[in-house]
Amino acid sequence: MSGRDWGVLLVLCGAIFLEGIDVAMLNVALPSIRADLGLSTGSLQWVMSAYVLGYGGFMLLGGRAADLFGRRQMFVFWLSVFLLFSGLGGLATEGWTLIVARFVTGVAAAFMTPAGLSIITTSFAEGPQRNKALLVYSGTGAGGFSIGLVVGGLLTSAGWRWVFFAPVVLSALILVAALALVPRTPRPERTGRSVDLAGGLTVTAAIVLIVLGVERASHTGLAATLLTLGAGLASLLAFVVIEARSANPLVRLGIFRSGALVRANLAGLLFAAGFFGFQFLVVLYLQELRGWSTLETSFAMIVIGIDAILSPLLVPRLVARFGSARLILGGLVAASLSYALFLPVGADWTYLAMLPGLLLLGIAFALAYGPLTIVATEGVKEEEQGLAGGLLYTSFQFGAALGLSAATAVNVAATTSSAPSALLDGYRSALWVPLAAALLAALISAFGVRTRSAGTVTAAGGPAVDTAAPAGLPTAR
């Protein structure tokens, strides 16, 4: 790669680093926010879910906007919005204002992230060069998350509002670098092409209503829950009908003919559901049951950040040797084992008892996250790279919101009092949610490995060729 290529990649890695550090810092600050603003467990969950709902709900629209209005333009504008509302979140004095600020910050990320990802996938040739760029990119995001755990603990010790003010400074630096390094490109030709607002609104409504229905299941009646979920499914059906009839759909339904893309998105959704649900429960366990400080919690969980080292250094070699599908499956199996190791968690567990599960989760993230990004975007036409990135990140964020809501719902339902034994029962019950999600994701991914193996033939005198790859794009193994 040229020096200019590295400069562009550095800026985009800075943005995904920002997204990772922002989420991680908030994660460890949640108990302090609850204490200061007087939030219930359900409301506390919405501080996280508001962000991922804004992120996931508008991601498809963000990916489409990048393809239609220019990737650089969308990246720069929405990075500015991210900067503004991150700062406003730090000024919140009530729970609802913080939730609104986090929702808008998530919307900004929904437009910024697919624009950045599509800049990478259109700037680097498909194959080893793009794979390397994507793995460096995903590894940087993971690094942001692990560093955010420690920085979040330090900042929360001084005051939880600093976890919102710190990203403002980082956003400003990335914005200046983006204006200087990301090259201008001609505006895309939009003749006969438009933004599908009806599709964007219905898919966002579907995501919000489904997550709301899951979250409310533990503290509302069956009729209200079914009504909310039914409205979400009806919105999803309306979205499909709109896309099928639209001349310029938000999501071209034909893109789902790619089995690899569908499997990557489903696995990504379930993987994120397990990962975020697990993180939420572990933070509550350490700080509210065990009484650990935010800084102690941060250092306890930083071992998950091993993926920041493995993703750029080891995973590219493993992808070249074993292929992305096998790595994804291995990562999901490792995640399942990690969650299973935590099921018998006790009220007096030592850190050494927790360490194997946390370390294994970091390895699982490294094996699965980057390869999922590769599989979800390879073979997709250049003009639909924003859409492909939007689909994947929608799956990640929708999964995160579902995982948080489901884990919270089970935790609330299983916790009968504020006694330590009752709190522990609630955590143990809720830990089955991430385990079930990871096992289902592994099952789905296993079909990908089988399909790849069945589609691999050896040309006479040549390398193995994956005939399951998209037409015209054979992949040497």
pLDDT digits (tens, 9 = 90+) for 302-311: 888 787 788 7
Count of CB atoms situated within 10 Å of the CB of 221: 10
Q: Give the model's pLDDT for residue 456.
A: 43
Q: Give the model's pLDDT for residue 40.
A: 78
Q: Give the model's pLDDT for residue 302.
A: 81
**pLDDT above 70 coverage of the chain, percent:** 89
Q: Give the model's pLDDT for residue 368.
A: 92
**Of the candidates 336, 340, 365, the residue with the CA atom closest to the CA atom of residue 443:** 336
Check pLDDT > 80 for residue 216. no
Q: Give the model's pLDDT for residue 356.
A: 95
Give per-residue pLDDT as tens, 316-357: 889 889 988 999 999 999 999 999 999 999 999 999 999 999
CA distance 289 to 411: 13
Q: Give the model's pLDDT for residue 218.
A: 62
Q: Give the model's pLDDT for residue 192.
A: 53
Give per-residue pLDDT as tens, 125-154: 777 788 788 878 877 876 777 677 778 888
Query: Taking the chain, what is the end-to-end CA distance rounded to the nearest angstrom?
Result: 23
Give per-residue pLDDT as tens, 434-452: 999 999 999 999 987 766 5
Between the CA of residue 325 and those of 93, 210, 444, what are the distances in Å? 46, 29, 11
Q: Give the model's pLDDT for residue 465.
A: 37
Instruction: Average the pLDDT over each of 168-172, 195-199, 214-218, 451-455 and give the range with the smallest value.
Output: 451-455
Instruction: Provide the b/e sequence for 19-43 (b: ≥16 CB within 10 Å).
Output: bbbbbbbbbbbbbbbbeebebebbb
Instruction: Average the pLDDT over each of 42-51, 267-276, 349-358 and give the range with the smallest value.
Output: 42-51
**Of the candidates 417, 315, 394, the residue with the CA atom closest to the CA atom of residue 109:** 394
CA distance 181 to 6: 10
Q: Give the model's pLDDT for residue 475.
A: 34
Backbone phi, psi, residue 417, to 5°: -160, 180
* Model confidence band, residue 66 (pLDDT cutoffs 50, 70, 90): confident
Check pLDDT > 90 for residue 235. yes
- Rounded to an integer, the average pLDDT of 261-278 is 93
Give per-residue pLDDT as tens, 154-183: 888 888 899 899 889 989 999 999 898 887
Count of CB atoms situated within 10 Å of the CB of 417: 10
Average pLDDT over the chain reads: 83
User: pTM of the predicted model, to two decimals?
Assistant: 0.76
Which residue's entry shows tokens 């330090």?
154
Which residue's entry shows tokens 């040549």?
462
Q: Give the model's pLDDT for residue 466.
A: 40
Q: Give the model's pLDDT for residue 452.
A: 57
**pLDDT above 90 coverage of the chain, percent:** 28
Check pLDDT > 80 for residue 108. yes
Question: Three-class SS string for the chain?
Answer: CCHHHHHHHHHHHHHHHHHHHHHHHHHHHHHHHHHHHCCCHHHHHHHHHHHHHHHHHHHHHHHHHHHHHCHHHHHHHHHHHHHHHHHHHCCCCCHHHHHHHHHHHHHHHHHHHHHHHHHHHHHCCCCHHHHHHHHHHHHHHHHHHHHHHHHHHHHHHHCCCHHHHHHHHHHHHHHHHHHHHCCCCCCCCCCCCCCCHHHHHHHHHHHHHHHHHHHHCCCCCHHHHHHHHHHHHHHHHHHHHHHHHCCCCCCCHHHHHCHHHHHHHHHHHHHHHHHHHHHHHHHHHHHHHCCCCHHHHHHHHHHHHHHHHHHHHCHHHHHHHHCHHHHHHHHHHHHHHHHHHHCCCCCCCCHHHHHHHHHHHHHHHHHHHHHHHHHHHCCCCHHHHHHHHHHHHHHHHHHHHHHHHHHHHHHHHHCCCCCHHHHHHHHHHHCHHHHHHHHHHHHHHHHHHHHHHHCEEECCCCCEEECCCCCCCCEEC
